[in-house]
Chain A
Amino acid sequence: MTVHSQGAVTSAPQDAPPKSPGRPEAPAPATGASHTPPRGGRKSLPSGWLPYLLVAPAVLALATLLLYPLIKNVILSLQDINKVEFIQRKYPFAGLDNYTELLGDSAFWTVVVRSFAFTLANVALIMVLGSLIGILLNKLGKKMRLALSMALVMAWAMPIVASVQVFRWLFDEQFGVMNWVMRTAGFSGYDQHNWMETGLSTMVIVTILVVWGSIPFVALNMYAGLTTVGAELYEAARMDGANGWQTFWKIVFPNLKPFFLITTFLEVIWVFKAFTQVYAMNKGGPDRGSEILPVFAYVEGQSQAHYGLAAAISVLTIVILVIVMSFYFRLILKQEEEQ
């Protein structure tokens, strides 16, 4: 999925420079891990002010546009800001009022449950189907594999805002292809079926969109991972009479366990904050019935003018994300140490 897609690489320490065919003098990246630069070695390091000067702009930028908004978010969540205060630009301190209001509000809990269910359903579908397609890719012949990978890359590359429009068109009430497909398949009641009639049905469409867009990342990486598992292992398993299921759990899964864990956490993080897909699809509607936490915060802030409350929702959402991320970072750091 596409905003995803950058995240794809984001997550991984990318240490290999791409090959530069036209540049024979370039050091071959494949020569192995031998040239780890000698840290602290010899004359390459005039420590002193230079490194600080070099990192200063980056640190400054992160501090003003990432750290400060995060802090501001917490401050806002402790203030009482509704329409009047917003216009007057006076934000009285409200203590934990926003949080107590939120935690006592059943609408909030509905959104929390919906967000978790949405995340769970999406990630489960993405991981299971993505892995299966990855395994299939590994078993295909060359031409078929190329065809399927190209199709996957297309879905992966589609910008989310564009694919949302396409899905709205596919599932259009009057002239959408999906109604035609259902009619052709022999189902009745799909003459002018409104696919986004309820919050739940809208969530289903969003799920199809998210899963469609996220599978390629998992499948292609799964395939790339499988090719590193060494054919002799499969061969040995087959000699020992293992079936496909056993081969997966005894050979593939243990070898690719870090991949599965890291990908699962990444998907959880991505799906949990899938603002664009949900909002662009139906603005969280109908009747606010498809809002997940980030959309809930946006609507509370922008349409309802409850800025303090919206900030509190954001803080709680970020806390949940940070908990998930802490697991993710522990995995990544372990990975780095092992290498």
Chain B
Amino acid sequence: MSTSTTTAPKPAAPHRPAQQLRTRRPVRPAAVAKNLGALLLALVFVFPVYWMFSSALKPADQMLTKDPVFVFTPTLDNFGKATGVENFWTYVTNSVLVTVGAVALALLVALAASFAIARMRFKGRKGLVLTVMMAQMAPWEVMVIAMYMIARDGELLNSLPLLTAIYFVMILPFTIWTLRGFIAAVPVTLEEAAQIDGCTRGQAFRKVIFPLLAPGLMSTSLFGFITAWNEFAMVLILNKDKTAQTLPLWLTEFMSAFGNDWGATMAASSLFAVPVLLIFIFLQRKAVGGMTAGAVKG
């Protein structure tokens, strides 16, 4: 497995001159159509997100109308209703515990494994790399029945530790895979220099590699966070007990629990989505670059 270091392509660097030429030309109908199309598309893609936030802030009497109300005085009532549900804080605590636990475990275990994979030679290394690669695509949604039977027979239904463990294994392969790349990109010579200066191997890792990995650890753990935060199928089948449920279940069962309160449902959706949206905006450049680094002929 080669570890070439490909950076995300700098968008448009080579053809910037061409672009400037193009924009300086007089306005043509084709250009207008292009921009109009883009604007329309942008609206289509952003509309559901906008509608979620806007409905969440809408007063109840302007919510259930035949013709939608677009201009209104925002209110936080819906958020109060959404968070006022019984067990709300239990769901929040559970979600945070499970997610943070899974990510922390995954980082720890993956750091060790990916260091071995990136820096050491041992029997079965190649097989392990392949396994990790395949495990990334594990069809968890299809394995829920087997997981349920295992949990039931092991008296582990409604168990947060089991859920944490499952999420940990869900994000582990990806974490190993990504960290492996980050570690491989740190020159061995740096580590050797530290060892020549009297560091042990462990110290060299802690003092040289680890600080260089910090940004990588950050983005990797955020991706793991999103996966665990959003997970639905496993918690749906395993934790039927309200006190062991997480936010995705709170969200999907909201409507039946609340009658037709769309305002509160949208407020709940907004609360759930905001952390993920923020993380995503922060991470998006890496996501795009990461994919193309592997997928485009260089």
Give residues in A with beta carbon < 8 Å to B: 2-3, 5-20, 23, 26-27, 29-33, 35-47, 50-52, 54-55, 57-59, 61-62, 65-66, 68-70, 72-73, 76, 81, 89, 133, 136, 139-142, 144-145, 147-148, 150-170, 172, 174-175, 177, 180, 212, 215-217, 220-221, 223-225, 227-228, 230-232, 234-235, 255-259, 262-263, 269, 273-276, 279-280, 293-294, 297-298, 301-302, 307, 310-311, 314, 317-318, 321, 325, 328-329, 332, 335-339
Contacts and interface: CB of A to CB of B under 8 A. Distances in A.
Given A14-B290, A15-B3, A147-B39, A62 B45 contact: no
Contact of A37 (B6, B133, B188): B188
Nearest to B280: A157
13 contacts: A16-B7, A37-B188, A57-B113, A153-B280, A157-B281, A161-B230, A172-B262, A177-B68, A227-B10, A232-B14, A279-B232, A294-B142, A332-B294
Given A136-B38, A147-B39, A263 B295 contact: yes
Nearest to B214: A20
Given A3-B230, A12-B291, A13-B293, 12 more contacts: A2-B226, A11-B294, A51-B122, A148-B41, A150-B46, A175-B262, A180-B67, A212-B48, A302-B237, A311-B146, A335-B295, A339-B6
A339 B67 CA distance: 57
Interface in B122-164: 122, 125, 128, 131-139, 141-150, 153
B232 A160 contact: yes
A314 B146 contact: yes
B287 A8 contact: yes
B1 A336 contact: yes
Contact of A167 (B48, B188, B295): B48
B18 A224 contact: no
Contacts, number: 451
A76 B51 contact: no
A232 to B, nearest CB: 8
Contacts of B284: 153, 156-157, 220
A165 B292 contact: no
A175 B66 contact: yes
Nearest to A163: B48
A329 B134 contact: yes
B117 interface: yes
B288 A220 contact: yes
Judged by DSSP, the binding face of B is helix
A148 B149 CA distance: 46
Contacts of A13: 177, 181, 293-294
A228 B292 contact: yes
Contact of B150 (A72, A133, A294, A328): A72
A45 B120 contact: yes
Contacts of B171: 6
Nearest to B279: A157
